[in-house]
Structure 1
Amino acid sequence: MNDTRRAVLDALADGPVAGPALADRLGVSRSAVWKHVEALRDAGFEVASGDDGYVLAGTPEYGGPAVEFGLDAPFEIEYHDAVESTNDRARELAAEGAADVAVLADEQTGGRGRLDREWSAPSGGVYLSMVLRPDLPPAHAPALTLAAAVATTDAAREAGVPAEIKWPNDVLVGDDGERGGRKLAGILTEMEGEADRVSWVVVGIGVNADVPAEDLPAGATSVRDEVGDVDRRAFVQRLLERFDELRTDPEAAVDAWRDRTATLGERVRVETSSGDVVGEAVDVAFPGALVVETDDGERVRVHAGDCEHLRPA
């Protein structure tokens, strides 16, 4: 949404406002005001016309303009009803020089998770990939994954779901004593850069939001399945706003992650490229390594791997 159209929308929300007065306020022609009003109507906004002028009578439930309206974070939204992968599209935008763009889709037809695993992404979810150009050294970039996990968890909690985070990138509900709980969301972060600087980072988030139970894979849950109706517009806005708060303060993101994790204090097995690490998860070290105390008392930092919560012996 361009700046002029956003200004028109803000004015209509405070309306009623006459077209000529709005044109004078914004420094555009009356014809331009009318064209912006019609574009807003086409985007799903209900704009009523009366003797006193235009007034905003309703907003669309979901979509790019709907999420941008009232969003207190500097993201442009590129919305798709369906796309193969929001991360793929975000990488294209990153290669074109984009920054602070959030690619949002109702459905993904070729979604994937870590290690190129298939990710079920039916209509009704929140599939979001943010194009970022952070002022961070590459070694600190993993903190953005933790920030995204915190933001997703906080949005879920505000929707009424008691979500927690399993290291490194899953948001779960409940505790089945094995995998750690029912999967609500996953995060996939991709980066391009050089040894001393990050060129771009794409943080992809997939949330089972307004997805019915019958459309979910085994071991998964959704916001809808947990608490009922979902306001996806509000969910995405809160997620983006919380992430924006955390992305410039990686240390705070790691601290917030510790407060929301289901992994610390659990006995875990982490599958890594060099073998399994088994023991108690005792901490997460900046910028995101899991610290596991093994049975022989050694503390091992694991930077990447698949984590399984083990049942008590």
Structure 2
Amino acid sequence: MDVETRQLQQQLTEAGQLPEVLILKPITTSTNDDVREIAQKGVQSVLVCSTRQTHGRGQRQRQWVSPEGNIYLSTLLNLRTPVNGRLALEIALNILQMPSLQALNLQVKWPNDLYSPQGKWGGILIEPISAQQVIVGVGLNLAPVSSAVIDQKTTSLTELGLVSIDRVRLIAELYLAIQQACDWFNHDCYNLASRFNHHAAFMQQQVEFEHFKGTCQGTFLGIQDDGAVQIETAQGLEVFYQGRLRPIDHAESSS
């Protein structure tokens, strides 16, 4: 067992959250795929983290650019109720509460982006195994990411002001944040709208929303407690559960 794995094991043991399987690796195809393979063996708790993915993916099977040096972490959650879109929102909100990130100006972009006024610094992918068991994958940009395939503004925790990066500590805090989010979800996401809207990107700004019937423009009013987006359009208040949100001033796409 290498030094980082021992340190992480110790930190999670002290927090009372040591998973059955804990794997740190320098490179993998996809940490979500790694967790899926382990879960098929009957394991109920697992953490896989890599510094690079060769076939990372985001929402709708889009490529997730996964250069070396960042954090790509996946884990398994067992839920009391069937999964819905509120889980990703809870995970994002709990990540913002990580102790190491408290000095930074961070936001959440509906439905699954870790955001800031400077751009996206991370993302969340949830892949159900069953109605009440899901794989959660989170990617955090520790260093600047530059790639022609990225279709929106990006930034990194370093650029946002995280001066001293303790990688093992960040991995531990991230894993614990996901577990805490699971508890919030299992308790019906109490007061979700108020908590989310306090950190929401583009709040009260003009946005474009792409949905299955087309697109609309209006003022983003945040979300309802059930996780639905609220857009005040010329026709009145419209509510959506699926789609892509972007500010009108920037042709960005939600991943």
The answer on 1:70 being equivalent to 2:8 is: no
The TM-score with structure 1 as length reference comes to 0.69
Q: Is the 8 A contact 1:272 1:304 kept in 2?
A: yes
Structure 2: runs of 5 or more not aligned: 251-255
The answer on 1:204 being equivalent to 2:137 is: yes
The answer on 1:263 being equivalent to 2:220 is: no
Distance 1:263 1:240 in 2: 27
Give CA-to-partner distance per residue, 1:255-297, whole Å, 9 cap, x none: 4322211133222111122211322221312332212222121
Q: Is the 8 A contact 1:146 1:253 kept in 2?
A: no
Matched ranges for 1:121-136 at <5 A: 121-136=66-81
Which residue identity is paired with 2:159? D
> CA 1:78–1:117 in 2, change beyond 3 Å: closer, same or farther?
same
State the structure with more CA Rg.
1
Distance 1:149 1:253 in 2: 15
| Structure with the larger RCO, 1 or 2 (CA within 8 Å, 6+ apart) | 2
Q: Which runs of 4+ in 1 moved over 4 A?
A: none
> CA 1:118–1:249 in 2, change beyond 3 Å: closer, same or farther?
same
Deviation at 1:83, TM superposition (A): 0.6
Give CA-to-partner distance per residue, 1:200-241, whole Å, 9 cap, x none: 1111110101x2x3x433622111233233112222222222
Deviation at 1:153, TM superposition (A): 2.3
Deviation at 1:98, TM superposition (A): 2.4
* Cα RMSD after superposing both structures: 2.3
**Secondary structure of 2:246's match?**
strand
Deviation at 1:147, TM superposition (A): 1.6
Deviation at 1:135, TM superposition (A): 0.8
Matched ranges for 1:230-249 at <5 A: 230-249=165-184
Which residue identity is paired with 2:10? F
Deviation at 1:253, TM superposition (A): 7.3
The answer on 1:152 being equivalent to 2:82 is: no
Q: Is the 8 A contact 1:73 1:240 kept in 2?
A: no
Deviation at 1:247, TM superposition (A): 1.6
Out of 231, 237, 242, which is 1:292 matched to? 231
Distance 2:47 2:55 in 1: 18
Deviation at 1:165, TM superposition (A): 0.8
**Secondary structure of 2:32's match?**
helix
Distance 1:172 1:101 in 2: 26
Distance 1:158 1:205 in 2: 15
Out of 153, 156, 165, which is 1:222 matched to? 156
Distance 1:116 1:162 in 2: 29
Which residue of the partner structure matches residue 22 of structure 1? none
**Secondary structure of 1:97's match?**
coil
> CA 1:86–1:296 in 2, change beyond 3 Å: closer, same or farther?
same
Distance 1:253 1:216 in 2: 37
The answer on 1:98 being equivalent to 2:39 is: no
> CA 1:75–1:275 in 2, change beyond 3 Å: closer, same or farther?
farther
> CA 1:256–1:240 in 2, change beyond 3 Å: closer, same or farther?
farther
Identity of aligned residues (%): 25
Q: Is the 8 A contact 1:246 1:252 kept in 2?
A: no
Distance 1:295 1:98 in 2: 51
